[in-house]
Amino acid sequence: HWLSTLYQTKGEHIKYQSKELSFHLCIITAERLLLYFAGTSGGNNSKTRTIIIVVVSVAASLMLAIFAFVLFRKRTKRKPEEQHQTDDISNFIESLKYSFTTLREATNDFSDVNKLGQGGFGTVYKGVLPNGQEIAVKRLAENSGQGDVEFKNEVLLLAKLQHRNLVRLLGYCLEGTEKLLVYEFVQNASLDQFIFGNMVITIFLLKVNIIRD
């Protein structure tokens, strides 16, 4: 639903622009009416002209106040909803987090005996958690060029991808310069699914192949 929130925000921005345009048109119309009545009133009707000016000015001010109030209420109403969505995402990300110590112990200090394979983006190790669950841990290379925010965004995306043809992401670790992804260990899974699992392009290609299948 994080993608639908983005489109909804854009749509609301367009809606606000439309309302602002309508409001400006009303103000312009009021100004034209003011000029029209002021121009058509003769010199002997100065009192009538003054009344018209006051009425139109008050009406325009009232419209401005109403529009500002409605816009303020809508924007303040959106803030709690956006904050709630942000909190949900943060809590979800936090629930997937593993400590570096846990993964180091699970892989026997990332020993070569536990190594499943290696690629340009990192090395994959087999590990066993304290509860006996087998996992595949991908330790990203320090020169991968991936920032912390980008890494968390990909973790969120990978965690939400659930399909029988995809290796399921169980969690991640982000401590200092260490970035690790924790996958469910599947005996017959392709090693490429672990090595390239965090790449957005690969995810896209996998999804295309799944649709074709």
CA distance 93 to 159: 9
| Separation CA 193–CA 208 (nearest Å) | 15
Quickly count: other Cβ atoms within 10 Å of residue 113's Cβ.
8
Residue 169 sits at the vertex; the CA angle it makes with 165 and 174, to the nearest 5 degrees, is 150
Binding-site sequence positions for ATP:
138
Burial label for 100, CB within 10 Å (0-12, 13-18, 19+), is middle
- For 107, the 3-state DSSP assignment is coil
Annotated binding-site ranges: 138
